[in-house]
A and B are shown apart, each in its own frame.
Chain A
Amino acid sequence: MKILLFLLEKEFRQILRNKQMIPLLLIAPVIQLVLLPLAANYTIKNISIAVVDNDHSTFSRELISKITASGYFRLTGYTAFYNEALSLVEQNKADLALQIPVNFERNLVRENSAKVFIAINAIEGTKANLGGAYLASIISDFNSDIRINWPAAPAASDPPQVAVISSYWYNPFMDYNLYIVPAILVTLVTAMAALQSAFNIVQEKENGTIEQINVTPIKKHIFILGKLIPFMVLGIILFTLGLFIAWLLYGIVPAGSLLTLYGSLIIYLFAMLGFGLLISTYSSTQQQAMSLAFFFILIFNMMSGMFNSVDSMPQWAQTIVQTFPTSHFIKIMRMVVLKGSGFSDILYEIGAMFVIGLILNTWAVLNYRKTTG
């Protein structure tokens, strides 16, 4: 125990002494936390639309003005031919093309039915889905409007309707910052913890100081613990700083208890630091440690449900994602910060992170050899 204190003292002195690293460790993440949530905005607005009005009727003009007045769409092209509108989509100048064919109004009135054509650039799935849905609902609104205002329409035959009343819990104003800020905070803590711990032991290897440690009677787990704790403290500081910024800039105050949040953070850091240490025991140069850490961190970031829903992935991928501590922690963050979930709600995630952490750390301790064969 006393030996651990000496180790900690040494690690902290080294961390605090490195003048180039402290800014990189703390300031860079803060800047990112301030700037990036602005980028991560899924609210689909400003969808650009190219319109081909071959009908030039009252109805077609009304429909177009209803679309542009909706606030979701921006009219970026008004062409005479459908092909021209499609080429605007090709050139990325329009996300959607809408064609109102000749005789639209006449068909509607005389035959009670008329078609419009919509082409959507579907490469970006979300935009395509939502853009299409918005347009469809505007058209259907327009449809009801003209029905009501059309004197010739049979008024009494209102069919029975099932109405959907939707409410959005935990984030009634659909504020994307609430969704994205906790995720970005997790990314930053992850990168810091995993990279620093992956690097640290390898650095001692390259400097040769590890050799000196290996001839001392120090216990392996004490040594590893001495490496874990300082970065855990750094991680907690970074996290606290991040929560503070989230409150200051985005007004995000965790709905759940801070105790639950920090308890989960410590277990998460335990797992991620163990992961970093494991990498460092397998690498002999900083380059190798870095490539390995980079590989996994990118996967953790992309697949843990930070920006995509894990539920939508194929089953095999969901199974893999279960082994990423990051996926559990992101879930916990959103649950505790936004929904105020308590300890009992996140028992499974905490348990999963703890088991993963235990495996990684045990593996790292076993794989760290003071004596080589």
Chain B
Amino acid sequence: MKQLIVFIKKEFLQVFRDKRSLLLLFGLPIAQIVLFGFALSNEVKNSKIVVVDYSKDAVTSQIIRKIAASKYFNIEQSMQSADQLQAAFKKGAIKMAVIFPANFALNLQHTGKASMQVIADASDPNVATTVVNYVTQIVNSYNGQLSSLSAQPLQIVPEVQMMYNPQLLGAPNFIPGVMALVLMLVCTMMTSVAIVKEKELGTMEILLVSPFKPLYIIIAKLTPNLFISIINYFIIIILSAVFLDLQVKGSLLLLTFCSILFILTSLSIGLLISIGAKTQQAAMMGSLMGMMLPTMLLTGFLFPVENMPIALQWLANFVPSRWYFIIVKQIMLKGLGIASVWKETLILLGMCVLLFTISLKKFKIRLQ
């Protein structure tokens, strides 16, 4: 036991001696949380659009005014004809074009119906659907004004309540996701590279021939990383509370416990990578090229897991950050207790124990 403490002390000394790396370890997650928390959102707004009005009457200018007043759109320019549309779309200058045919108001008045054309750039389907929805809503509310003049019968009025995030901000969704992403990648990478470095330098051999238990070596190697990651976790929690107004609604203790579990799981993955990799370069490519994109996509904060094909949903179940992401949302945003996250917590615990045991076994094999 005393040996272990000495060993852990040495690891801490080494980590804290390299000031530049330390700065990176703490500074980077902070910068990322702040940047992502403020800048990212799923909301589509300020979309640049162009309006082509062949009619130029009272009705079209009223609808255009409504569109212009919406925060969702920035009317870039008014085109005289639709001929330049193709060019504008190809330049990527606009996301949508709204075209009013000639005699718009006249048609509306006489036939009771007028059609406007909306062309969306569907090279980004999500934005396209959303902007078309927005315009439709605006036009519907205009129709509502028209029809209220002639009293519609049988009106169903939906009353909508947006729970947990009434303003539909991006941060509540992204912060848990980024927390999961950053903690996982940083832990995995730090651990795998730190151990492979000892291999490359040959110091690992010395440790392995010492009477030290392999378990102790692993514990000593992981402790500083665990410590740094926990500090990072608290920094993220504080930053989101102070800057992004996202306080932990549920139990901080529970969230911290789950986070430590998640950190340990990520450290174990790093350990496993380090056992397979021969060079620092391979370890890094493994933990970055191999993990960054799958973690980003399969965690579920960019794309809902339920929408994926069954095979990928199944695959996503093996990504620890997927479970952690759910836990953070439940505890931090919804303020729920252990009753609602026990399943996810157990899964993380299982992953952690399994990965750690495998790495320990593999580590022992190297000894003989």
Please pick, from B282, B288, B304, the residue contacting A21 in the complex, using a CB distance under 8 A: B282
**Majority SS of interface residues in chain B?**
helix
| Residue pair A179, B158 in contact (C-beta under 8 Å) | no
Query: Is residue B279 contacting chain A, with contact meaning CB distance below 8 A?
Result: yes
Which residues of B, 98-157, contact A by the 8 Å Cβ criterion?
108-109, 112-130, 132-133, 135-137, 139-140, 142-143, 146-147, 149-157
Q: Provided the pairs A160-B113, A169-B119, A290-B189 are in contact, do residues A126 and B126 lie with their beta carbons within 8 angstroms?
A: yes
Which residues of B, 64-106, contact A by the 8 Å Cβ criterion?
87, 89-92, 95
Q: Which stretch (A208-216, A240-248, A291-299) binds chain B?
A: A291-299
| Residue pair A345, B90 in contact (C-beta under 8 Å) | yes
Give the docked Cα–Cα distance between A295 and B288 (Å): 11
| Cβ of B320 to closest chain A Cβ, rounded Å | 16
Query: Is residue A162 contacting chain B, with contact meaning CB distance below 8 A?
Result: yes
Query: Is residue A312 contacting chain B, with contact meaning CB distance below 8 A?
Result: yes
**Chain B residue with Cβ nearest A20:** B282
Query: Is residue B51 contacting chain A, with contact meaning CB distance below 8 A?
Result: no
Complex contacts, B165 vs chain A, CB 8 Å: 122-123, 125, 128
| Cβ of A150 to closest chain B Cβ, rounded Å | 6
**Majority SS of interface residues in chain A?**
helix
| Cβ of A323 to closest chain B Cβ, rounded Å | 13
| Residue pair A36, B112 in contact (C-beta under 8 Å) | no
Q: Provided the pairs A125-B173, A153-B153 are in contact, do residues A169 and B112 lie with their beta carbons within 8 angstroms?
A: no
Complex contacts, A39 vs chain B, CB 8 Å: 297-298, 303, 308, 312, 316
Please pick, from B21, B92, B147, B168, the residue contacting A128 in the complex, using a CB distance under 8 A: B168
Q: Provided the pairs A124-B304, A345-B91 are in contact, do residues A188 and B293 lie with their beta carbons within 8 angstroms?
A: yes
Please pick, from A116, A178, A335, the residue contacting B159 in the complex, using a CB distance under 8 A: A116
Query: Is residue B272 contacting chain A, with contact meaning CB distance below 8 A?
Result: no
Q: Provided the pairs A39-B303, A159-B143, A176-B125 are in contact, do residues A120 and B160 lie with their beta carbons within 8 angstroms?
A: yes
Query: Is residue B221 contacting chain A, with contact meaning CB distance below 8 A?
Result: no
| Residue pair B154, A108 in contact (C-beta under 8 Å) | yes
Give the docked Cα–Cα distance between A302 and B315 (Å): 22
Contact bitstring A112-143, B, C-beta under 8 A = 1, else 0: 11111111111111111110110110011011
Contact bitstring B31-55, A, C-beta under 8 A = 1, else 0: 1100110111111111110000000
State the 5 A-B residue pairs at the shortest beta-carbon distance, nearest first. Answer: A317-B39, A168-B122, A125-B42, A159-B147, A171-B122
Which residues of B, 160-215, contact A by the 8 Å Cβ criterion?
160-166, 168-170, 172-173, 178, 181-182, 185, 189, 193-194, 197
Which residues of A, 329-358, contact B by the 8 Å Cβ criterion?
331, 334-335, 338-342, 345-346
Q: Provided the pairs A174-B125, A339-B89 are in contact, do residues A44 and B307 lie with their beta carbons within 8 angstroms?
A: yes
| Cβ of B60 to closest chain A Cβ, rounded Å | 10
| Residue pair A313, B289 in contact (C-beta under 8 Å) | no
Q: Provided the pairs A158-B112, A292-B24 are in contact, do residues A112 and B155 lie with their beta carbons within 8 angstroms?
A: yes
| Cβ of A309 to closest chain B Cβ, rounded Å | 5
Give the docked Cα–Cα distance between A39 and B158 (Å): 33
Query: Is residue B281 contacting chain A, with contact meaning CB distance below 8 A?
Result: yes
Q: Contacts A113-B156, A313-B39 given; 9 further ones with Cβ under 8 A? A: A43-B125, A43-B307, A126-B130, A130-B129, A166-B119, A171-B122, A311-B95, A317-B38, A338-B123
The interface size of chain B toward A, counting residues with CB under 8 Å, comes to: 128
| Residue pair A342, B32 in contact (C-beta under 8 Å) | no
Please pick, from B28, B158, B311, B330, the residue contacting A135 in the complex, using a CB distance under 8 A: B158
Q: Which stretch (A49-57, A84-92, A222-230) binds chain B?
A: A84-92
Query: Is residue A271 contacting chain B, with contact meaning CB distance below 8 A?
Result: no
Q: Provided the pairs A123-B173, A162-B114 are in contact, do residues A146 and B154 lie with their beta carbons within 8 angstroms?
A: yes
Interface centre among B119, B120, B126 (most CB of A within 10 A): B126
- A-B CB contact pairs (8 Å), 23 listed: A39-B297, A40-B297, A159-B143, A161-B112, A163-B115, A164-B135, A166-B118, A169-B120, A175-B125, A176-B125, A286-B197, A286-B281, A287-B197, A287-B280, A291-B21, A291-B28, A292-B24, A295-B28, A311-B44, A311-B95, A334-B123, A335-B123, A342-B90
Q: Which stretch (B226-234, B263-271, B332-340, B353-361) binds chain A?
A: B332-340
Give the docked Cα–Cα distance between A120 and B277 (Å): 46
Complex contacts, A372 vs chain B, CB 8 Å: none
Give the docked Cα–Cα distance between A40 and B300 (Å): 9
Complex contacts, A278 vs chain B, CB 8 Å: none
Give the docked Cα–Cα distance between A91 and B277 (Å): 41
Query: Is residue B248 contacting chain A, with contact meaning CB distance below 8 A?
Result: no
Which residues of B, 281-309, contact A by the 8 Å Cβ criterion?
281-282, 284-286, 288-290, 292-294, 296-298, 302-304, 306-309
Contact bitstring A268-295, B, C-beta under 8 A = 1, else 0: 0000000000000000011110111011
Query: Is residue A41 contacting chain B, with contact meaning CB distance below 8 A?
Result: yes
Query: Is residue A32 contacting chain B, with contact meaning CB distance below 8 A?
Result: yes
**Chain B residue with Cβ nearest A74:** B306
**Chain B residue with Cβ nearest A36:** B297
Please pick, from B91, B149, B172, B181, the residue contacting A123 in the complex, using a CB distance under 8 A: B172
| Residue pair A288, B24 in contact (C-beta under 8 Å) | yes
Size category of the A interface is: 35 or more
Complex contacts, A219 vs chain B, CB 8 Å: none
| Cβ of B290 to closest chain A Cβ, rounded Å | 6
| Residue pair B162, A120 in contact (C-beta under 8 Å) | yes
Q: Provided the pairs A115-B159, A286-B280 are in contact, do residues A159 and B146 lie with their beta carbons within 8 angstroms?
A: yes
Give the docked Cα–Cα distance between A192 and B288 (Å): 10
Complex contacts, B280 vs chain A, CB 8 Å: 286-287, 290
Complex contacts, A132 vs chain B, CB 8 Å: 160, 162
Query: Is residue B63 contacting chain A, with contact meaning CB distance below 8 A?
Result: yes
| Cβ of B20 to closest chain A Cβ, rounded Å | 6
Please pick, from A125, A160, A195, A286, the residue contacting B146 in the complex, using a CB distance under 8 A: A160
Complex contacts, B160 vs chain A, CB 8 Å: 118-120, 132, 136
Give the docked Cα–Cα distance between A169 and B294 (Å): 30
Please pick, from B92, B125, B159, B326, the residue contacting A117 in the complex, using a CB distance under 8 A: B159
| Residue pair A165, B117 in contact (C-beta under 8 Å) | yes
| Cβ of B225 to closest chain A Cβ, rounded Å | 12
Give the docked Cα–Cα distance between A211 and B308 (Å): 51
